Amino acid sequence: MVSCLDSSPSPIYGTVADVIQSVRPMFPESDVAAAVRYLQQSGKKIDISSLIDAVYLIQERRLRDTPPQQQQSPTAIHQRLTGKMDSHYSSELISKTCSEVGDEELSSSESEIGESQAPISADETREKTRRLKLFYEDKIRSLRSMCQICRMERANILLLPCAHVSCCGYCLRDMRRCPVPSCGKIVRGTKQVFFN
Residue 78 has pLDDT above 80, yes or no: no
Give the pLDDT of residue 56.
86
Give the pLDDT of residue 166.
86
**Whether residue 67 is found in the same domain as residue 46:** yes
68 neighbors 32 (Cβ within 8 angstroms): no
The answer to whether position 152 is within a domain reads no
Burial class from Cβ neighbours inside 10 Å (0-12, 13-18, 19+) for residue 18 reads middle
**Whether residue 185 is found in the same domain as residue 140:** no
CA distance 61 to 57: 6
**Whether residue 52 is found in the same domain as residue 93:** yes
Helix ranges (DSSP H) in 24-83: 29-42, 48-65, 74-82
Give the pLDDT of residue 176.
87
**Whether residue 128 is found in the same domain as residue 73:** yes
**Whether residue 88 is found in the same domain as residue 169:** no
Give the pLDDT of residue 182.
85
The answer to whether position 6 is within a domain reads no
**Whether residue 42 is found in the same domain as residue 86:** yes
**Residue 14 DSSP SS3:** strand
**Whether residue 90 is found in the same domain as residue 184:** no
Q: Which helix (H) or strand (E) holds 190?
A: strand 189-192
**Which range among 23-32, 95-104, 137-146, 160-169 has the greatest average pLDDT?**
160-169
Q: What is the pTM of this model?
A: 0.34
**Whether residue 76 is found in the same domain as residue 133:** yes
Q: What angle do CA 157, 158, 163 make, to 5 degrees?
A: 155
DSSP labels for 120-188? Answer: PPHHHHHHHHHHHHHHHHHHHHHHHTB-TTTSSSB--EEEETT--EEE-HHHHTT-SB--STTT-PBP-
Residue 109 has pLDDT above 50, yes or no: no
102 neighbors 5 (Cβ within 8 angstroms): yes
The single-letter DSSP state of residue 12 is: T
**Whether residue 124 is found in the same domain as residue 167:** no
**Whether residue 34 is found in the same domain as residue 130:** yes
Segments forming the whole domain that contains residue 171: 157-192
**Whether residue 135 is found in the same domain as residue 105:** yes
| Count of domains observed in the chain | 2
Give the pLDDT of residue 114.
46
Q: In one letter, which amino acid is 152?
A: M
- The model's confidence at residue 90, banded by pLDDT at 50, 70 and 90, is very low
CA distance 13 to 132: 14
Give the pLDDT of residue 81.
52
Encode pLDDT of 137-195 as tens digits: 888 888 788 888 888 888 899 989 998 888 888 888 888 888 888 888 898 999 988 87
CA distance 28 to 36: 13
